A = this chain, B = another copy of it.
Amino acid sequence: MQLGMVGLGRMGANMVKRLVAHGHECTVFDMSPKVVEELAKEKGVTGASSMADLVSKLAKPRAIWLMIPAGVVEKAIAEIAPHLESGDILIDGGNSYYIDDIRRAKELAPKGIQYVDVGTSGGVWGLERGYCMMIGGPKAAVEHLDPIFKTIAPGIGDIPHTPGRENVVSTAEQGYLHCGDSGGGHFVKMVHNGIEYGMMAAYAEGLGVLKSANIGKHTHEIDAETTPLRDPEHYQYDFNLPDIAEVWRRGSVIASWLLDLTSSALAGDPELAKFGGRVSDSGEGRWTIKAGIDEGVPTPVLTASLYERFTSRGEADFSNKILSALRYEFGGHLEKPAAK
């Protein structure tokens, strides 16, 4: 079927390629005319020079997919909506806050525009692996888009069927799912990312413990403010982290795609020397915690993983100064300089 794609970054462009490779037709637009021109060389792809142009090149009822940063979706909808007509479908495939989806769906409904929110996971690997999609919005619109979702999704692939689901009828096994009403897709994607933060942190912390397992080889001074390592002979291991990440990939309980990537990252660079350790966070992790708080559901692991990222960027510095100041106040303790 026909799809309009707005935003031709890594993910948008790869989706278009995946769609036309399976016989769909795509009309595409991006802020950069050069990017449009380049992609329009692919068979089945038509370039557009503006949002209005894109809309005019699509047959009704139109289906238009926005694959753009969450911060500019609002503006893009304001720009494109006036050109749309009743029956058209507008899809936000980015990382919008589900609360915005609820509002947008309500705002567009009087015009007869159906708003569909799609949380998309797969990163730069989606062209090859397919994208896992979590979908929210009106049932009829979601069903209308089924051929698109089926193509973008990974499908069953080599992945074994889940025991106990033999009689379950669901697109879930294909890698896409209508999760619920408006916002439901991004809600599930939000939580997905929250879990992702937690899993990443679990590996990172564990590898951190392995990395310092040779601490007993270093000497420590004795003073009133630090305690010597009691049993240095218990920390004499120089572990080969690349090999350890690799061995866990096979047969262990913690095998995962993130572990595959960890092994790959360590393979070339065991010290990860090219990274500084300033870790970004992009919204979904924060929103997951806020949702848990609203629900009264505790998420200590997911929250800890978010805070590690904040702290990695120096956001705890003032709090830490308070601690040092207090230690000075009650104990006369001076800060110790970093070890050389």
Contacts and interface: CB of A to CB of B under 8 A. Distances in A.
A296 B322 contact: no
A250 interface: yes
B162 A249 contact: yes
A154 B253 CA distance: 13
A315 interface: yes
Contact of A236 (B181, B306, B309): B181
A67 to B, nearest CB: 10
Contacts of A299: 205-206, 208-209, 307
A94 B222 CA distance: 14
B297 A308 contact: no
A101 B93 CA distance: 36
B199 A288 contact: no
A93 to B, nearest CB: 12
B121 A196 contact: no
Interface string A268-281: 11001001111111
Copies of the chain in the assembly: 4
A264 B298 contact: no
Contacts of A153: 250-251
Contacts of A206: 191-192, 194-195, 198, 288, 299, 302
Interface stretch (A19-27, A30-38, A49-57, A324-332): A324-332
Could you say which interface size class chain A belongs to? 35 or more
Interface in A284-299: 286, 288-299
Interface string A157-174: 111101111001011111
Contacts of A125: 330
B209 A194 contact: yes
A202 B199 contact: yes
Q: Which 10 A-B pairs have CB atoms at the shortest separation, nearest pair first?
A: A198-B202, A256-B256, A227-B283, A164-B267, A277-B320, A175-B250, A71-B222, A298-B307, A132-B252, A132-B251
Given A121-B253, A195-B206, A298-B308, 6 more contacts: A121-B254, A153-B250, A170-B243, A231-B294, A297-B310, A298-B311
